[in-house]
Structure 1
Amino acid sequence: MLTPKVPVAKEGYPFIWYCAFSTLVLCLLGFSLTAGIMFILTTFVLAFFRDPERFISPDPDALVCPADGKIISIEEVEDKKFTGQRVKKVCIFMNVFNVHVNRVPFSGNVVKIMYHPGKFYSADSDKAALENEYFATVFSAPHDRQIAVVQIAGLIARRIICWLEPGDSAIKGSRLGLIRFGSRVDMYLPLETELVVTTGQKVRAGETIIGRLQ
């Protein structure tokens, strides 16, 4: 039996309680207009930190999407930074209305985690992948291959949270981390990956199948 879970990320509790408390105080003081604005803000913050359960594909070869959002590019690149291999790179842009809890794309051990402090360009720009702050989590895959998931900060995303550590055994579809207030997630996949998504497609973390490892 699945353990019931509050469908809100715990990292959002301080923001939600602060906004809700401010709304209550303003309402009691009679500042109706300001209280109404704070109520709308509270609703937005609550929605932003939502963490719904997802139905994960049982296909052992399927790679699931690590983030909600829209695929903005798919390309082959020489990845010298994370996997040291030529890979297929899939970039997913998340706007402020998407679920921002990220998920593990494929079951495997966490090989390494890399943090890079950087700038905060718009997450859908080319500069974002090169110069923005990021957290990269590299997973082992069968036949000495690796898969990297890179959480990239955006223009207003100022906090990246990764819940995994090197050596952890990660299960496909489990929660990987969180990025606050809009950003981007890039996937670096083995060349043999058979992609089943296209540029411009909307995707859901844990449910949309990105491709299959051959």
Structure 2
Amino acid sequence: MIIHKEGFSFLICSLIFVLISFFISIFLFSILINLFISFFLITLYSFFLFFFRNPKRNFSYNENEVISPADGKILEIKSVFENEYLKKDCICISIFMSPFNVHVNRFPVSGIITYVRYHPGKYWFAWNKKASFQNERTTTVVETKEKQKILFRQIAGFLARRIIIYAKKNFLAKKGEEFGFIKFGSRVDIYLPLKSIIIIKKGEKVIGGKTIISIIQ
């Protein structure tokens, strides 16, 4: 299993904590309690390893296909007015990432990155409608070769309190490549042109960098 680079320091610190806790428990508790503590610590550390996994994925797409920027479940699909950058009505697709999903975020389209901005904010649960506009978040816009501007947001949740973004303005975005990472449960919103053909539905599970969610016309 490949571990994402964002997990290295966290996993090292966690391992040190687990080992120290284990050795302290040997001197303080009975064998039965030590077995329980050992089981708990091993299970917890195994979850951390699982959380920071970074599975290898092969990419092969048509230019007009939009892929899912994240692993998770489609929370909602709706028409909204995007007022931060696009200033027009769009189709917004919200993807909820549980702590058990891969948390690598990938570019949904290829093109030039025209806008990147970080917004400090609150930590509503990721499925709360307030999360899109009040939570800590980042906004990124990529302009495709066909001059279509696609906006997407990393949104922190109640557990996810650290957003990492690699995207930089005026750099080239390549569909399927990493643009960020969010730790411990979160949400990603993507805003598409109204004429886009949506080929997923609410409640459907998607795989970042693999599932085609829309075709841009």
Q: Shorter-chain-normalised TM-score: which range?
A: over 0.9
Equivalent residue, structure 1, for 2:74: 71
For 1:127-138, what aligned pairs fall within 5 Å after superposition? Answer: 127-138=130-141
Equivalent residue, structure 2, for 1:17: 12
Query: For structure 2, which runs of at least 5 residues remain unmatched after alignment?
Result: none
Q: Please, which of 150, 155, 160 is the counterpart of residue 163 of structure 2?
A: 160
Output one character per residue of 1:42-93: Cα deviation in whole Å (capped at 9) or x when no partner. 1111111111111223222111000000001101111111322221100000
Q: Please, which of 26, 42, 47 is the counterpart of residue 50 of structure 2?
A: 47
Output one character per residue of 1:102-139: Cα deviation in whole Å (capped at 9) or x when no partner. 00001111101011100000000111112111001110
Query: For structure 1, which runs of at least 5 residues remain unmatched after alignment?
Result: 1-5
Equivalent residue, structure 2, for 1:105: 108
Aligned amino acid, residue 208 of structure 2: A
Contact 1:22 1:38 in 2 (8 A): no
Aligned amino acid, residue 130 of structure 2: K
Question: What's the secondary structure of 1:13's corresponding residue?
Answer: helix
- The percent of aligned pairs where both chains have the same amino acid is 39
For 1:186-205, what aligned pairs fall within 5 Å after superposition? Answer: 186-205=189-208
Select between 177-186 and 144-153 the one with higher mean Cα deviation. Answer: 144-153
* C-alpha distance in structure 2 between counterparts of 1:152 and 1:142, whole Å: 27
Equivalent residue, structure 1, for 2:210: 207
Q: Please, which of 76, 80, 87 is the counterpart of residue 90 of structure 2?
A: 87
Contact 1:112 1:139 in 2 (8 A): yes
* C-alpha distance in structure 1 between counterparts of 2:147 and 2:208, whole Å: 25
* C-alpha distance in structure 1 between counterparts of 2:190 and 2:95, whole Å: 8
* C-alpha distance in structure 1 between counterparts of 2:108 and 2:11, whole Å: 29
* C-alpha distance in structure 2 between counterparts of 1:144 and 1:101, whole Å: 26
Q: Runs (4+) of structure 1 moved beyond 6 Å?
A: none
Q: When the two structures are superposed, what TM-score results if normalisation uses the length of structure 2?
A: 0.91
The alpha-carbon deviation at position 28 of structure 1 amounts to: 4.1
Equivalent residue, structure 2, for 1:3: none
Select between 55-64 and 29-38 the one with higher mean Cα deviation. Answer: 29-38
Q: Please, which of 120, 124, 136 is the counterpart of residue 123 of structure 2?
A: 120
Select between 17-26 and 186-195 the one with higher mean Cα deviation. Answer: 17-26
Q: Please, which of 150, 154, 172 is the counterpart of residue 169 of structure 1?
A: 172
Q: When the two structures are superposed, what TM-score results if normalisation uses the length of structure 1?
A: 0.92
Bigger radius of gyration among the two: 2
Q: Please report the RMSD computed on the Cα atoms of aligned residues, expressed in angstroms.
A: 1.5
